[in-house]
Structures are given as structure tokens and as C-alpha cells.
Structure 1
Amino acid sequence: MKLENEFTWAVGIEDTFVTQVERGERPLDEYTLTQHYQNWKEDLDLARKSGATMIRYGIPWYKVEKEEGEFDWRWVDQVMDYFRENKELVPIIDLMHYGTPHWLKNEFSNGRYPDCVANYAKAFAERYSDIVTHYTPLNEPYVNAEFCGLNGVWPPYQTGLQGFYHLIIQLGKGIIKTISAIKSIDSNAAMVHVDATKKYVTEDDALQTETDLWNENRFVMWELLNGQISEEHSLFGLMMQYGVTPEQLEWFQHNNCQFDIVGINYYPQFSVHEVRRDKHGFITYPHILGTGEEMKDIIREAERRYKAPIMITETSFRGSETERIDWLDESAEACFSLRKEGVNVIGYTWFPFFDLVDWEYRTSGKSAEEELMPFGLYTLEMDEHGKLVRNENRVGQRFKEWTKDR
């Protein structure tokens, strides 16, 4: 299956793997917390029945390669055999969804990270290239750099814009080398470059320059991978100020990649920010509720820049079933409105397929059941035997209606 101009419906299973616990946190492995490791076949069967023909699906690198260079594919083999036997559900494989193996000290800031992740990617492609045709080399590099390099929430716990851009460079090198490794095995493999999207707005004319800068910075990884950041680029000075060197940017200019598919992750509750000053005079960037119109603006801008097909690779709404249905309708209608404009939107992914465990679980002390977040087409509910049962909700029923209608 090659995504081109047809419209594809997809779902995704939340697959964050941040399992280092040196600072007293609990491991965050969504497959463990949502019991997907045990119930993977049921989950994939339900995904097939949803009307989706693609699924974003992650591989737990930290489990596959517990010791450097030694790969244990036993659990992954089962899942890949399922995809081999059920070709109507095509996986977009998330090779990297945040976490690294424990043997890679200093995680993403380790100078060996780009080569290590590429070696893992090559081993995966060597084993499964007969099944897998679409890859996401690394999910949401912006959020990865934000949590690991800007805010110090996840390893390697760096902070500030210097940490952010250091991680952007490291992750970007990892993406480029991952693509090269996969292409050495399967030159026809399609790369779905997925990142979180943002839009910044302000009502304060004095903050328009700041707003414009952040509206450029939201595209930093795509610009970097595309080899676009040079002395003439609006981000060049800022990146130099916070530790990036011209030589690092030149590496990307010489090793740039083109995008097969630009994956847009848009959440109305998290993707739009207002730039304002607080009562103490500090600039802040609080979330404000976004709409389908903001999503359309982001998509138009991405297509203008990268001239590649656009896929909504994540969207959903945290809230009641009615609120989720409203957003499903609004966001799907936005996609078809753009297609009528001539914008090449080729797919839509509801993510997560079933409810997820809040990332705050790492430090909250609450149980996984207490941290369940209402996002999914299926609701997770604990039964008397301790199993998280998957129950289709009204959002899932509405999703099926969309997949049948279009």
C-alpha cells in the first residue's frame, strides 16, 4: 500500500517508552500500563474492525535491545506476523517514541546516539522489510526536545534553549542516519515525518516579533532535516546564540532529506498558544483552545514549505464522548475542506485508539487506572480480574461512520 492521493483512515496506539528511573520516577511504558503486551491481538483486531486501514504502531527499543547489539525480537515477531497475515491493516512503524535503552548512558545527548538508533533501525528493516513499508524514524522530535532538553522532565534532563537545540541536533542526526539505514535495506520504504504542530497568537502588538519567532521555531526540525537552516534563515541567529555551530547546520545541508509524507500532530487543547505578559512582566505561552481553522492554517503552511503529501498522524480530544465526537467531526471536515481547496491531505489518524495513561504517572504516585485519560475510541475499564477491558464508545461508533462515508 502506497499512500498517494487517496484518503486513508488510521488509528494509533499510544506507545511512549520512558523507563529510566534513576531519579525515583516510575517507568512509563504505555504498552505495560494499558496491558497491550498481553492484549495486542485483541487490540489489532479491534483496529481492523474500526474501519481504519493503517495504524501507527511503536516498537519498544529498550526491550528489543536490552544489551547493545543483541536483539530480542520474540514479542515483535508475533505482531509482525499478524500484519503479514492481515494486510488490510498497514502499519506505520514508530521506531522511536521517546525513550532509549538503558545501556545508552546520557540518552539522547550521548554522542553515539545517532549511530546506535540507526543500527537498531537497520536490524529492524533487515528482519521485517517484507512486511513494513512505512516508517516514522522518530515521533515528535519537538516534544522530545521539549521534555528532554528544554524543561528537564525526561532524561537526559537538560533545560533551557541550549538544551533544546542540543537535543534537536542529536535527534535530527538520528533521523537522517535512521533513514539511510532503512533505505540501505529497502530503497522504496516511505518515511512519514511526524512532529507536534503549534501555532502562536498574540493580542499584544509589542509581542508580535516574539510570536513570529516561535511560529518559525515550531518548524525547526522539518527545516533542519530539509537542509534549510543557513545564515539567511530566521532561526540561525537564535540557534547560534544557544550553542549550535555553523558546522552542525552545514552537516544537515549536506545530508538533508526530502519528506515522503509530512505527518501533522494537532491537538486542539495543546497545539495553540497565546503569547502574553503575566502580571510580573514575564512572557508566557499558555495553551488556548484551538479549532479546525488553526489546524487548517498549519497544514497549508506545511504544504507550502515542503511540497509533500500531508497526513494527520495524531489528533483527538481529552474530554467527554460528546466533546470527542464534536472534534472528530470538526477535524475530519477540515481535512475534506482542504482537499477541496487542492491541499494534498491524504489521511487522518485518531490517536490514541484507546485511552492512555497520563504521562504524569511517572511521578504522581497514582495507579495506572487512576491516571487513565479519556481520549480514545475505546474506553479502558478495569474488571474484577484486573484486566483493562476495551469497550467501544460513541466516538468509536462515529469514527466507523466516517470511514464508511468517505
Structure 2
Amino acid sequence: MSRFPEGFLVGAATAAHQVEGNNVNSDYWAMEQMQYTSFTEPSLAAVDHYHRYEGDISMLAAAGLNSYRFSIEWARIEPREGEFDEREVEHYRKVLECCHAHKVEPVVTLLHFTSPKWLIEKGGWEEPQTITYFARYCRYVTQQLGSLMHYVCTINEANMGLQIAAISARFQVQMMAKMKQAQQGNASEEAAKSTEGSVQVGLNMQKMMANMEKQKAENLEVFGTETPQVFVSARTPEGDILAMKAHQAAKKAIKEVNPELQVGLSLSLHDIQAKPGGEEVAAKEWEEEFLHYVPYIKDDDFFGLQNYTRSVYDENGICATPEGAELTQMDYEIYPQALAACIRKAYALLQLPIMVTENGIAVSDDEKRVRFIDEATKGVCDCIAEGIPVTGYLYWSLMDNFEWQKGYSMTFGLIEVDRTTMARSAKPSLAYLGGL
């Protein structure tokens, strides 16, 4: 019997650049090819979802899932400024039609970290004109494909740039402190692992910092600037608000074309907890991670909540992971209870329908994934029983894929992919989630 109420969306998520492959007009593709790249490996063909989406969506549906969150790639739709590629529009039309043919509700994200390279050459996500460019792109997609969509996330994890700015500063402080006690190599590696485990995206902090100076000249050659402002660059407070204004402009453009579309965005949230004495520090962190965005999203149709773990604070700042705690491949603490806590905190302040647009675990042992899904979804059901309007749970991710700077080593997927043959193999967790 279903764990969830009738009409609840149970599904899985992907992002275009992480699964499609050959996203050659994007900023990330350019960065992956650089000599002094921060990426472990390039994305290349990814898991070839661009050509294999029908089989992947069929596997999802056959397992009992009724929703699929995926992103439309701006760099494919508008590979050069003002030039829209109708062939790519037709590709995404077919993806949407495939979802509907399998009775799967598509949840479409219009920006999942990657941008067209030309946008970054024009100043990227610190340039006010980006608001206009993004709204124009969103309007065009809605004009072409809006009749096939119902739920739209304008921007994925709109708060990620501010989180990266904070952890970059934290990493430098940690590394300097550890360098007084150990040799540089070991100290920086230890600091990198500690810091990377506190942000919900795949980063290589040690490689980023080591290559920073060498990257400047190469960035100038590739992007026309020493400091390209991609969406997940360490963001200024002004750039942070720019992303919110881009969301609002995009929502306005979407609604002018199709007022019936349900529009929101997603934020990356931790279950922020305080030890005695750490209450003030934790409150400040929650303000930066969530509270100051509320005025910009309070009139949205829904809120996309993304959570993977918790963060604990004392009077000195973020605490190390508890000794003996089980960690994921991403160095997150395995803490499925964090999801329900975040839902309760967000709803208390936002009073909007909440869709869990990402929640998952990178582990090689699929039994751990099943246990994580079981615990996390029980928490979602508890929230629903308390009267919180949670409308869906979308696990990250449908397939093992390209985890940004960490490459293909992080296995989040419900489906395993042999990247030599591109053969798919369902893990038991896929059927387990479908059975809920």
C-alpha cells in the first residue's frame, strides 16, 4: 500500500549537464577542458541520457515512480546570444511527451547550475543584464513547451553561490591553521575533506585553491576575464540578490505566457542545529541560508526544498562531524532525519506548498540507500500528517552521473550505469522507492 496520499509525486531527479553529455556550448564544458581545471575529469558523453532518455524514463515508470525532475539546458536552447536552436527545442518536446506517455509528471528546471558560455563572457551571474537574458530564455521555453509542463523550477539551488563563498573562506582559515601543525599536502587535504562535506554540491576545494592563480590567465583566454562568474562561483551579496531578481523576472515572463504554470525555485538547505552556546551562530547561518530569501519567493506557487544532511554549530562556528558517524562518499554525515526538520522550519516561515526536489545519498552499498529513503520518506509522511502541504518527494538521483568537480566517482543513483557500454542496471532502491 502506498505510503503517500493520492496525487503525491514520487520520483527522481537529474540535471542536463550531469547526464546528457556533450554540452559543448556551456560554461562547464569550457572549464572541464582547461589545463588548470578544478574538475577531476571531464563530463564527455556523461551517461548519454540525451539519446537514451526514453529507456531511462521507461525504467522509472516501470518501477512505479510517477514523476521525473529534469533540466532544460540553456546552452543548448540558446547556444549563441539571441540565437535559439529549434532542433533542441524539439528534443526537449520529445522528452516531455515521453514523460506524459508513461504517465510521469515532469518537473522542469530551467537553470541547473550550467549557463551558456556567451553569458559568462558578458559578465555572468554578477552582471545585472543577466536578469534580462534569463527572463528572455524562460519566456521562449514557455512559449515553445509550456503546454507540456505544469511544475517549473526557474533556478536550482539559488543560494549555492553564497554557500560556496562561505566555505571557500572557511577552507582558507582551516588550511592556514592546520599548516601550522602539519606538512602542507596533508593539511590541505584534511581541510578540503572537512569543508567539502559541509556543502551540498561536488567540489574539489584543494584543487580549486591550488590552481587559482594559474587559472586566471587561462580564464582570460577562455572567457575574456580572469574571474568568470558562473552560477556556482563564490557569490557577492549583490550577486546573491541578482539571482533572486532573475527568478522573479523569469516567473513574470513565464506567467505572462502561461498563467497556469506552477512556478518556484529550489534552495539547498541543511538541518541547522545548535549546541549550547551556538544558538546565535546557528541563527545567523539560517538567516544566510534561507531567511533572507523569503521576501523574494513568498508569492511563488511552491517551494523546492533540497536537503542531504545537517550542520551543527557551537559558539565557534560549524562543528566537525560527530566521531563515529557514518559518512557518504561526499563526506556528508548520513542523517535522513534532516529532511523533515528542514520541511518544518521552511514551512513555518514560508507557508507555501513544498516539493522535495532533491534528497539522496552517495554510497556504494544500496542497502544503505534503501534505509535512507525509508527514514527520509517516513519523515515526509509525518510532516504531511501534521498538515504541512508537501506535494512530492524526488530522490537525487535517477542515475549515477557526473557529480560536477568530483566526476563520476559519487554514486547517488537508483540506476547504475556502465559508462563503457552505457548499459543501465536498476538497483533495488529503485523498486523500493517505486513501491512507496
Normalised to the residue count of structure 2, the TM-score between the two structures is 0.73
Residue 432 of structure 2 corresponds to 398
Residue 341 of structure 2 corresponds to 297
Q: Cα offset for 1:191?
A: 1.0
Number of paired residues?
349
Within the candidate set 369, 378, 382, 2:415 is matched to 378
Residue 217 of structure 1 corresponds to 288
Q: Give, as a single letter, the amino acid of the residue that structure 1 aligns with 2:386.
A: E
Q: Cα offset for 1:199?
A: 2.5
Q: SS in structure 2 opposite 1:316? A: coil
1:222-241 map, 5 Å: 222-226=293-297
Whichever structure has more helix as a proportion of its residues is: 2
Residue 271 of structure 2 corresponds to 199
Partners of 2:266 and 2:357 within 8 A in 1: yes
Structure 1 CA distance for aligned equivalents of residues 232 and 65 of structure 2: 39
Q: Cα offset for 1:25?
A: 2.4
Q: SS in structure 1 opposite 2:80? A: coil
Structure 2 CA distance for aligned equivalents of residues 309 and 350 of structure 1: 18
Q: Cα offset for 1:341?
A: 1.7
Partners of 2:79 and 2:116 within 8 A in 1: yes
Partners of 1:151 and 1:157 within 8 A in 2: no
Q: Cα offset for 1:158?
A: 10
Distance change >3 Å, CA 47–CA 172, structure 1 → 2: same
Partners of 1:30 and 1:356 within 8 A in 2: no
- State whether structure 2 residue 351 is matched by structure 1 residue 307: yes
Q: Cα offset for 1:128?
A: 0.8
Within the candidate set 73, 86, 96, 2:111 is matched to 96
Residue 229 of structure 2 corresponds to 156
Normalised to the residue count of structure 1, the TM-score between the two structures is 0.78
Q: Cα offset for 1:186?
A: 0.3
Distance change >3 Å, CA 75–CA 315, structure 1 → 2: same
Structure 2 CA distance for aligned equivalents of residues 25 and 193 of structure 1: 29
Q: Cα offset for 1:177?
A: 0.4
- State whether structure 2 residue 386 is matched by structure 1 residue 344: no
Residue 9 of structure 1 corresponds to 10
Report 1 or 2 for greater relative contact order, CA contacts < 8 Å, sequence distance ≥ 6.
2
Residue 176 of structure 1 corresponds to 248
Q: In terms of mean alpha carbon deviation, does 168-177 or 340-349 score higher?
A: 340-349
Q: Cα offset for 1:345?
A: 1.5
Within the candidate set 87, 94, 117, 2:134 is matched to 117
Q: In terms of mean alpha carbon deviation, does 50-59 or 118-127 score higher?
A: 50-59
Partners of 2:125 and 2:229 within 8 A in 1: yes
Within the candidate set 262, 283, 291, 1:190 is matched to 262
Q: Give, as a single letter, the amino acid of the residue that structure 2 aligns with 1:139.
A: N
Q: Give, as a single letter, the amino acid of the residue that structure 1 aligns with 2:392.
A: G
Distance change >3 Å, CA 187–CA 169, structure 1 → 2: same
Partners of 2:126 and 2:239 within 8 A in 1: yes
- State whether structure 2 residue 375 is matched by structure 1 residue 330: yes
Structure 2 CA distance for aligned equivalents of residues 6 and 42 of structure 1: 24
Within the candidate set 261, 268, 272, 2:302 is matched to 261
Q: Give, as a single letter, the amino acid of the residue that structure 2 aligns with 1:180.
A: K
Structure 2 CA distance for aligned equivalents of residues 31 and 172 of structure 1: 31
Residue 365 of structure 1 corresponds to none
Distance change >3 Å, CA 129–CA 149, structure 1 → 2: farther
Q: SS in structure 2 opposite 1:151? A: helix
Q: Once the two structures are superposed, what CA deviation does each residue of 1:276-295 show, in whole Å capped at 9, x if it has no partner?
A: 47xxxx64455563634332
Residue 29 of structure 2 corresponds to 19
Structure 2 CA distance for aligned equivalents of residues 389 and 157 of structure 1: 32
Within the candidate set 56, 68, 88, 1:55 is matched to 68
Distance change >3 Å, CA 139–CA 287, structure 1 → 2: farther
Q: Once the two structures are superposed, what CA deviation does each residue of 1:54-94 show, in whole Å capped at 9, x if it has no partner?
A: 21110111122111111113134133234235521221111
Partners of 1:20 and 1:155 within 8 A in 2: no
- State whether structure 2 residue 311 is matched by structure 1 residue 273: yes
Q: SS in structure 1 opposite 2:140? A: helix
Distance change >3 Å, CA 86–CA 98, structure 1 → 2: closer
Q: In terms of mean alpha carbon deviation, does 131-140 or 39-48 score higher?
A: 39-48
Q: Cα offset for 1:13?
A: 1.5
Structure 1 CA distance for aligned equivalents of residues 355 and 255 of structure 2: 21
| Structure 1, unaligned runs of 5 or more | 227-256, 362-367
Distance change >3 Å, CA 322–CA 164, structure 1 → 2: farther
Structure 1 CA distance for aligned equivalents of residues 110 and 394 of structure 2: 18
Distance change >3 Å, CA 345–CA 57, structure 1 → 2: same
RMSD (Å), alpha carbons? 2.9
Residue 149 of structure 2 corresponds to 132
- State whether structure 2 residue 104 is matched by structure 1 residue 84: no
Q: Once the two structures are superposed, what CA deviation does each residue of 1:355-388 show, in whole Å capped at 9, x if it has no partner?
A: 1223224xxxxxx5xx332211101123xxx322
Distance change >3 Å, CA 287–CA 187, structure 1 → 2: farther
Structure 2 CA distance for aligned equivalents of residues 81 and 194 of structure 1: 25
Q: Once the two structures are superposed, what CA deviation does each residue of 1:163-201 show, in whole Å capped at 9, x if it has no partner?
A: 342221111111000001111100111013211111222
Distance change >3 Å, CA 57–CA 157, structure 1 → 2: closer
Structure 2 CA distance for aligned equivalents of residues 290 and 216 of structure 1: 24
Distance change >3 Å, CA 373–CA 159, structure 1 → 2: closer
Q: In terms of mean alpha carbon deviation, does 135-144 or 36-45 score higher?
A: 36-45
Q: Give, as a single letter, the amino acid of the residue that structure 2 aligns with 1:260.
A: D
Structure 1 CA distance for aligned equivalents of residues 58 and 166 of structure 2: 38
Distance change >3 Å, CA 155–CA 140, structure 1 → 2: farther
Q: Give, as a single letter, the amino acid of the residue that structure 1 aligns with 2:430.
A: G
Residue 317 of structure 1 corresponds to 361
Q: Cα offset for 1:310?
A: 1.4
Distance change >3 Å, CA 31–CA 13, structure 1 → 2: farther
Structure 1 CA distance for aligned equivalents of residues 162 and 95 of structure 2: 33
